[in-house]
Amino acid sequence: MGSTKLFVTLCVLPLLASSFCSAQLSANFYASSCPNLQTIVRNAMTTAVNGQPRLGASILRLFFHDCFVNGCDGSILLDDTSTFTGEKNANPNRNSARGFEVIDTIKTRVEAACNATVSCADILALSARDGVVLLGGPSWTVPLGRRDARTASQSAANSQIPSPASSLATLISMFSAKGLSASDMTALSGGHTIGFARCTTFRNRIYNDTNIDATFAATRRAGCPASGGDARLAPLDNTQTRFDNNYYTNLVARRGLLHSDQELFNGGSQDARVRTYSTNGATFARDFAAAMVKMGNISPLTGTNGEIRRNCRVVN
């Protein structure tokens, strides 16, 4: 009994090493209670990503932004109401977090198959994995058993999700605070091999940074004016609908779109790892998959903590 109490205590520490709690999650958590769960999620994600490949990146980003704010607890999915302030309007999410309707669709289908059983947090974890796979990336076994938060934190979303203007030191520190190493951070950043970024997030990079390929900067300036056009999009790498290692090839060529991307290859501690990934896609894929499992283990609500939301947008 004493060791169980100790384990639970460790699991609620805010700055835990993520591995403390992973033992509470299990790949077979829904094997008997919702045996078709993974098929339901994969089928819905296949439809979504085939219709709009960008959604694979959008949902991967939702999962990252969920896990970095009080753990992987589905809090990012909660809507603001007159009496509740969620995370959707925090600076890192406002006008950019997307894919919520896909999660709604999956939740509706999962509820029809096994009601009040599967958390929104777990649906998001599975959807993020499937989006990566559908765009040609690696697969991994997703540990399951997370429960859904009844609360959210706009302030934590504003302070704990790394900004695209972050320095390497800041990135390492912010990932370390979640139990993730510098090498985990560099592998997870490779999620930017898919999807798009808004002009407002890379304007300063293309107009003011000096560690940038001149031709690349000129190309991006053509679609992102020095003022205005904040919502205009540019691909995060040149194969934005294929999950590959081109993100790292671009970094070596000084063609990282975000300042925080190029920080990984700018004379610092991660240069060698970036070079390795740029020439060895299999190594990147392996490390990315392992880091995704580790990120998915950040502070899960388990046991009787939290709830199983019926609708991912509102607490029960």
Instruction: Tell me if 192 is assigned to a ligand binding site.
Output: yes
Instruction: Tell me if 244 is assigned to a ligand binding site.
Output: yes
Concerning whether 65 is annotated as a catalytic residue, the answer is yes
Q: How many angstroms separate the CA atoms of 86 and 155, rounded?
A: 9
Instruction: Tell me if 69 is assigned to a ligand binding site.
Output: yes
How is residue 175 written in tokens?
A: 């990932």
pLDDT of residue 17: 42
Is 190 within 8 Å of 245 (Cβ atoms)?
yes
- Mind listing the domains of the chain with CATH numbers? 36-160 (1.10.520.10), 168-296 (1.10.420.10)
Q: How many angstroms separate the CA atoms of 266 and 16, rounded?
A: 30
User: What are the Cα distances from residue 97, in Å, to 14, 24, 57, 93?
Assistant: 24, 29, 10, 5
Q: What is the DSSP string of 82-102?
A: TTB--STTSTTTTTT---HHH
Instruction: Tell me if 71 is assigned to a ligand binding site.
Output: yes
Task: Return contacts of 78-81, CB within 8 angstroms, 24+ apart.
Answer: 78/149, 78/152, 78/312, 78/313, 78/314, 78/315, 79/313, 79/314, 81/314
Is 77 within 8 Å of 94 (Cβ atoms)?
no
Sign of the CA dihedral with 241 first, then 209, 264, and 91 last: negative
Catalytic residue among 65, 129, 146, 255: 65
Would you write out the chain's pLDDT as a tens digit for each of its 316 residues?
Answer: 444 333 333 444 444 444 444 448 999 999 999 999 999 999 999 999 999 999 999 999 999 999 999 999 999 999 999 999 999 999 999 999 999 999 999 999 999 999 999 999 999 999 999 999 999 999 999 999 999 999 999 999 999 999 999 999 999 999 999 999 999 999 999 999 999 999 999 999 999 999 999 999 999 999 999 999 999 999 999 999 999 999 999 999 999 999 999 999 999 999 999 999 999 999 999 999 999 999 999 999 999 999 999 999 999 9
Q: How many angstroms separate the CA atoms of 11 and 7, rounded?
A: 6
Note the pTM of the prediction, 2 decimals.
0.93
Instruction: Tell me if 259 is assigned to a ligand binding site.
Output: no
Instruction: Tell me if 215 is assigned to a ligand binding site.
Output: no
Instruction: Tell me if 162 is assigned to a ligand binding site.
Output: yes
Q: How many angstroms separate the CA atoms of 146 and 296, rounded?
A: 9
8-state DSSP, 8:
H
Is 186 within 8 Å of 107 (Cβ atoms)?
no
Tell me the one-letter amino acid at 156.
A
Q: How many angstroms separate the CA atoms of 290 and 286, rounded?
A: 6
Spatial CA neighbour of 171 closest among 255, 268, 241: 268
Spatial CA neighbour of 187 closest among 257, 258, 289: 289
Strand partners, 311: 314
Instruction: Tell me if 239 is assigned to a ligand binding site.
Output: yes
Instruction: Tell me if 163 is assigned to a ligand binding site.
Output: no
